[in-house]
Each structure stands twice: as structure tokens, then as C-alpha cells.
Chain A
Amino acid sequence: MGREGAVIAQLLPEFTKLHPDIEVRIQQLPWTAAHQKLLTAFAGEATPDLCRLGNTWIPEFVALKALEPLDRSLARSTAVQASDYFPGIWDTNIIGGTLYGVPWYIDTRLLFYRRDLLAQAGFAEPPRTWAEWSRMLAAIKALVGPERYGVLLPLNEFDTLLVLSIQQPEPLLRADGRYGNFRSAGFHRALGFYREIFQRQWAPPVDSTQISNVWNELGRGYFSFYISGPWNIGEFTRRLPPQQQDTWMTAPMPGPDGPGASIAGGASLVIFRRSRHKAEAWLLLEFLSSPQTQKRFYQLTGDLPPRRSTWRAPELAGNLYARAFREQLERVKPQPKVPEWERIVTDMRLMAERVVHGDLSVEEGARDLDREVDAVLQKRRWLLDRGRTP
């Protein structure tokens, strides 16, 4: 999916040299339709052998009994070492005690910001707490005026609210994923802060589709903070003019009372149970997981590797923008591992949109969401009670 698919073609010649008898065919899926397309492929029994899967989708595919458990292959392998991986990331691949995927690259969310605008507003360092961040947003807003903003938080993306919620001590679902936990004080705090950012006009109430070109707009100072992932390191480097390259920087997410957690996102390599070439798929998986290939992959895509050893390479260690990610990766938390999570997080985003718009108060929103989520999880409760699902 995305550019990674195109890049694999470049990595393959190495693999073919090592295993000349294995032929590899690549299939590309656009990100926005990938989730649905994969499920359709599963329904149509047209799944690939090896696949890159977003790690939040793993619970769903495990519930479908679509993925091959990898514990045995892992035990026999020398190339893949579990201890070398960031624990928060590795954990996202373990469902019910079994390993179903090997992390391929990591993804998380943190701040991209305009250093120069922040300095103009009177701040030399990026924020470490929500309170500091609020002060900075207010200062920047006062500086840029009514036509521009402090931060861009597209309303059609759930990432920001998810990060703010995950920074809270309370989990998002309770009782092993049987019920929602959105009535917790922590979620109220997160939702309240999210709403405040819009109420105070620090962020424009827009969708990502209404921002015609997000890189240009950050360059123009339409907003000064942006919450995004590793791929934008490369994009900003490429799309902003050279004279603007030292005006932007990355920083870890601020938390309620100190540096905060972020989501343990990323993609894993999984093998489909229906595959008839599982041994070969595992060989390709090992190849793609070796530190050398990972380093090359990073150079080609800018996607960050999940292995600590790869991070020691000079290309990565020396990358100024990647440093914030290295720090953030030690503070990542996985999302609840239930197959319905995609739906729950979409419902959360829709509710948040209405809260931001003023149609619902924070209490009403959280309560409505809890009720919806409890309904969505009803079948899971029924199956858990009968021991039919992990």
C-alpha cells in the first residue's frame, strides 16, 4: 500500500539473489480502501501469501482466522529477534498470547512545527505538557491573527483525539474489550481539551480535503503545529523550498502532566493462513526484517524501522527530524485489540466532530459513544461467553 509497495520492487533483486527459485509478485492497494479491500479479498479467498497489514487491523484478521501463527517460525529463526524490537510495537502483534505478525515499520504521531513562528511568539522549546502547548497555541494565535491558526487537526482524522485519549491512565475499553470505557474521567479530559482547541480558534474546523496542500500551508504559516507521522519527514523535506528547511522541526507529543504517550502504530508483515507458500513467505519476511534491508527501506521511503539495532545506523542516528520519533517510540501504547476497533474509533471521531461543532456537550458525547460502543461489542460479548473468540 502507498509508496512502500512501489519501493519493495527495488528491494527484491537482493532477495532473488539469495533465493533464485522463489518468484515474488507485488500487489498494490491504496491505503484508503485497503482495509475494505483486504476483507473483500478474504471473503473472495483471494488473499496474498505475505502481506503488509496495519497493526490495528491484526485483531480483525485474527478473529477471521485469516492469519497464520508465527511463534514456531520465530523460535527457529535467527534473523528475527523479538528482543531487538520496541516492546510497545512488538506487543501489537500478539493476540491472545500468540504472535501473528512481525513489525515491519513503525508509525506514531507527534508534532511537526514551525520553529521560527514559535520563536516569534516567544518560545524557544517545543511543549512538553498540555498546559505549555495551550500557552503556545494562544500566543501563536495572537501573533497570526484571525485568518490563520496555531494547529491543524483535520476533523476527518481520528488520530489526534486518539493520542490524547491514549495518554490517559484509564483504558479505552474495559473487561477485556467487552464494554466501552469512554465515561472515564480521562477520556472526558481528552475530549474536553480537544474541544477547547477548536473553541479557542487555535485550530480551523476543517477536513483534510479542504486543505488543498498541507505542506504548502505549513510553509505559508496557515498553521504552526501539525500532528502527523514519519512519512511526512520525507514529504516536508521534499516539498518545502530549501530556504525553508530549517524552519520546521519535530517534537514528541506533550502529555497531560509531562511528555506524553502516543499510538503504537505501524505495519506488520503477516502470512495468510490460506497461503500455499508459507515457508517461502517466511523467508521473504526474514529478508525484509533484516537490519540491512530495513536500513535500505528507510533510505528509500523514510519509514522508520521497528528494530533498535537499525536505529543505531548513522543515517538514522544523524537524522534530526527522526530523533523525536526515537524518543516517542519508548512511550507508545497499543490500541485495544478488538476486531471492532476500527468501527469504534470511527464512531469516536464522528462524535468528536459533533462535539466540536457544538451539537453535543462533552458529557453527552462521551455517554452517547459509550452506549454505541456497548452495542457494537454485543456480539463479541456473546462470542466471548461461549469461548469462541480470543
Chain B
Amino acid sequence: MSVSGARVLLHALLLGAAAITLFPLLWMLSVSFMAGGEASAFPPPLLPAHGTLANYRQLFGQQNIGRYLTNSLSLAAMTTLLSLLLNSLAGYAFAKLRFRAREPLLRVLLAALVIPSQVAMLPLFLMMKWLGLVNTYAAVVVPAMAGIFGVFLVRQYALTIPDELLEAARIDGASELRIFTSIVLPALRPILVTLGVFTFLGSWNDFMWPLIVLTDQGLYTLPIALATLSREHVQDNELMMAGAVLTVLPVLALFLSLQRYYIRGILMGSVKG
């Protein structure tokens, strides 16, 4: 096959695959602007007859989705900031600060990566009950404030900080904390952005644990609200699609603007081998 022939085939395949991949998302957008019941027709419509904002209005008005949006946002933000702090402190310590049992501890942590988080879920719930934290945001944020993956990611990156830089600062008499805030953190900035994006996305999309631990409807995050809405309103598909759009749009936007960092994080996480 000639080069141009191959090129045409290649792009045909790419376009076809891209169309299939993006179609559900575009359709979701389209249906969200359709009138109630319009999508339940045969043949199924691709575009709304007359676009309407009614679904969005109902979501913000009756279904109070603005509340869930804010909840998701604040929860994700809190989790991200706190976990960045704790994970960067620990990651740097594992990379550059010598302390007893550092290597064995690291090995234990890495081994624990294979344990699925759901094993911890049931006793964690009971623990939250005894701490009186069920149905609070603390129950969602606190367990997520540090994670093995995050610590490891920072550690890998922190390994690349030149030792001489740190030694020089120590000789100058700077405290460890000072070194951390003025040298290490700035050096870690790229990986912190990566980890931040990861954590934010993870928290935003988190479903199972908040579902279990949050009972107050006022505290629901977007995914839970959407799941509840979809189980209650099996019939109102256009409304569902609007809810789905609102849930997906913020993270897509975040991703599009910060893709570089997110993808780098995946690669670094996979290099551990």
C-alpha cells in the first residue's frame, strides 16, 4: 500500500474510532436540551427539535442540583489540598530524609497497593460510627487525606531533587521545615499539579464510599445525586442527561486544560513496575 493510501486508511480508522468514542458524550449533550419525553421516540432523535433549557432549569430549581455541585466542588477541593500537603511531606521524607525503617516501610506500603480499597470499607464504616462521623464530610475527607499512591508518586519525583541543593541549605543552617517549604515544594510543583489533578478527579468521581457514608440528602455529591435521581426518575431521560452533563462537564474542562499533567501522572505511576 502506498504511503498516501496508508495515510487515508489510518485517518479513516482514527476518525471512525473518535466518532464512536465521542458519540455518547455528544448525544448526552444533545438530549439534555430536548423536551421531556422527546427522546423516547422511534426512530430515536439525534438532535432536539427545538432546544430547551427546561431540564437545566428543573435541575437547578426543583432538584437543587446547585447544592450538589457545590458539595462536590468543596469536597474535592478540601480533599485535594489536604492530601497534597500530607502526601508531599511523606513523599519527600521517603525520598530524601533518612529515618529508621524507611525502606521496609516503603516495601510494606507498595505491597499494600494490591489490597482493594473495598476490603477496608465495612470496618471503616463501623469506625466512623464509633467516632460519630457518619454522615459528615469528615468521613469522606479524612480517610482520603493520604494515600499510598500519592506518597509514592511524590517520592519518585522527589528522588530527582539534587542532594547537593538540600545539603547546602542545611549547611547554611536552615531548618528541615524551611528547606521543605522554600526548596522542595517549588521543585515538586509539576508533580503536585499532577497529583492534584488526579486527586481532584478521583474525589469528584468517587461514588461507592460517599454513597455508603452520607445519608443526609443535603450532603450528597453529584454522582450520588445523579444515581439517586436515575433510580427514582427512570422515566425522565432528558432530565437525567442534563444531570449527567453537569456532572461530566467540570471534570472534562479540568482535564482538557491540564491534560499534560494528568497523563504524566499515569506514566509515572506505571513506571514503578
Residues of A within 8 A of B (CB): 27-33, 37-38, 40-41, 43-46, 208-209, 212-214, 216
B187 within 8 A of A: no
**Can you list 30 residue pairs at the A/B interface with Cβ under 8 Å?**
A29-B217, A30-B217, A30-B231, A30-B232, A31-B232, A32-B228, A32-B232, A33-B228, A33-B231, A38-B215, A40-B135, A40-B212, A40-B213, A40-B215, A43-B125, A43-B129, A43-B134, A44-B128, A44-B129, A44-B132, A45-B134, A46-B215, A46-B216, A208-B234, A209-B234, A212-B235, A212-B237, A213-B40, A213-B235, A216-B37
How many whole Å from A245's CB to the nearest CB in chain B? 19
Contacts of A44 in B (CB 8 A): 128-129, 132, 134-135, 213, 215
Contact B132 A45 (CB under 8 A): yes
Contacts of A46 in B (CB 8 A): 134-135, 215-216
Contacts of A213 in B (CB 8 A): 37, 40, 235
Residue from B128, B134, B218, B237 having most chain A Cβ neighbours under 10 A? B134
Contact A41 B231 (CB under 8 A): no
Contact A41 B135 (CB under 8 A): yes
5 A-B pairs besides A32-B232, A46-B135, A208-B234 with CB distance below 8 A are A28-B217, A33-B228, A44-B213, A209-B234, A216-B40
Contacts of A33 in B (CB 8 A): 228, 231
How many whole Å from A291's CB to the nearest CB in chain B? 30
| A27-B214 Cα distance, complex, nearest whole Å | 13
Pick the 3 closest A-B CB pairs, nearest first. A44-B134, A46-B135, A32-B231
Contacts of A28 in B (CB 8 A): 217
Return the contact of A41 from the options B40, B215, B228, B232 (Cβ within 8 A): B215
Contacts of A32 in B (CB 8 A): 228, 231-232
How many whole Å from A25's CB to the nearest CB in chain B? 10
Contacts of A43 in B (CB 8 A): 125-126, 129, 134
| Chain B interface size, under 10 / 10 to 19 / 20 to 34 / 35 or more | 20 to 34
Contacts of A41 in B (CB 8 A): 134-135, 215
| A45-B212 Cα distance, complex, nearest whole Å | 14
Complex: chain A residue closest to B39, CB-CB? A212
How many whole Å from B263's CB to the nearest CB in chain A? 36
Residue from B37, B215, B218 having most chain A Cβ neighbours under 10 A? B215
| A41-B215 Cα distance, complex, nearest whole Å | 6
Residues 136 to 188 of chain B near chain A (Cβ within 8 Å): none
Residue from A38, A43, A44 having most chain B Cβ neighbours under 10 A? A44
| A209-B125 Cα distance, complex, nearest whole Å | 31
Produce 1/0 per residue, B219-256, CB < 8 A to A.
Answer: 00000000010011011010000000000000000000
Contacts of A40 in B (CB 8 A): 134-135, 212-213, 215
How many whole Å from B65's CB to the nearest CB in chain A? 14
How many whole Å from B243's CB to the nearest CB in chain A? 14
| A390-B134 Cα distance, complex, nearest whole Å | 29
Contacts of A214 in B (CB 8 A): 235
Produce 1/0 per residue, B74-115, CB < 8 A to A.
Answer: 000000000000000000000000000000000000000000
| A29-B235 Cα distance, complex, nearest whole Å | 19
| A44-B129 Cα distance, complex, nearest whole Å | 5
| A343-B264 Cα distance, complex, nearest whole Å | 47
| A128-B128 Cα distance, complex, nearest whole Å | 54
Contacts of B228 in A (CB 8 A): 30, 32-33
How many whole Å from A26's CB to the nearest CB in chain B? 10
Contacts of A30 in B (CB 8 A): 217, 228, 231-232
| A43-B134 Cα distance, complex, nearest whole Å | 8
Contacts of B40 in A (CB 8 A): 212-213, 216
Contact B129 A27 (CB under 8 A): no
How many whole Å from B117's CB to the nearest CB in chain A? 19
| A310-B231 Cα distance, complex, nearest whole Å | 33
Contacts of A27 in B (CB 8 A): 216-218
Contact A45 B129 (CB under 8 A): yes
How many whole Å from B158's CB to the nearest CB in chain A? 39
Complex: chain A residue closest to B233, CB-CB? A30
Contacts of B128 in A (CB 8 A): 44
How many whole Å from A116's CB to the nearest CB in chain B? 23
How many whole Å from A48's CB to the nearest CB in chain B? 10
| A137-B128 Cα distance, complex, nearest whole Å | 54
Contacts of B231 in A (CB 8 A): 30, 32-33
| A31-B175 Cα distance, complex, nearest whole Å | 57
| A229-B215 Cα distance, complex, nearest whole Å | 27
| A332-B37 Cα distance, complex, nearest whole Å | 37
Contacts of B132 in A (CB 8 A): 44-45
Complex: chain A residue closest to B229, CB-CB? A30
Contacts of A208 in B (CB 8 A): 234
| A44-B228 Cα distance, complex, nearest whole Å | 20
Complex: chain B residue closest to A5, CB-CB? B217
How many whole Å from B214's CB to the nearest CB in chain A? 9
| A213-B215 Cα distance, complex, nearest whole Å | 29
Complex: chain A residue closest to B126, CB-CB? A43
How many whole Å from B81's CB to the nearest CB in chain A? 26
| A216-B228 Cα distance, complex, nearest whole Å | 23
Complex: chain B residue closest to A32, CB-CB? B231
Contacts of B232 in A (CB 8 A): 30-32
Given A30-B232, A44-B128, A213-B37; A37-B215 close (CB under 8 Å): yes
Contacts of B217 in A (CB 8 A): 27-30
| A216-B213 Cα distance, complex, nearest whole Å | 37
| A28-B232 Cα distance, complex, nearest whole Å | 13
Complex: chain B residue closest to A213, CB-CB? B235
How many whole Å from A27's CB to the nearest CB in chain B? 7
| A43-B128 Cα distance, complex, nearest whole Å | 10
Contacts of B126 in A (CB 8 A): 43
Complex: chain A residue closest to B227, CB-CB? A33
| A19-B122 Cα distance, complex, nearest whole Å | 43
Contacts of B129 in A (CB 8 A): 43-45
| A213-B132 Cα distance, complex, nearest whole Å | 42
Contacts of B135 in A (CB 8 A): 40-41, 44, 46
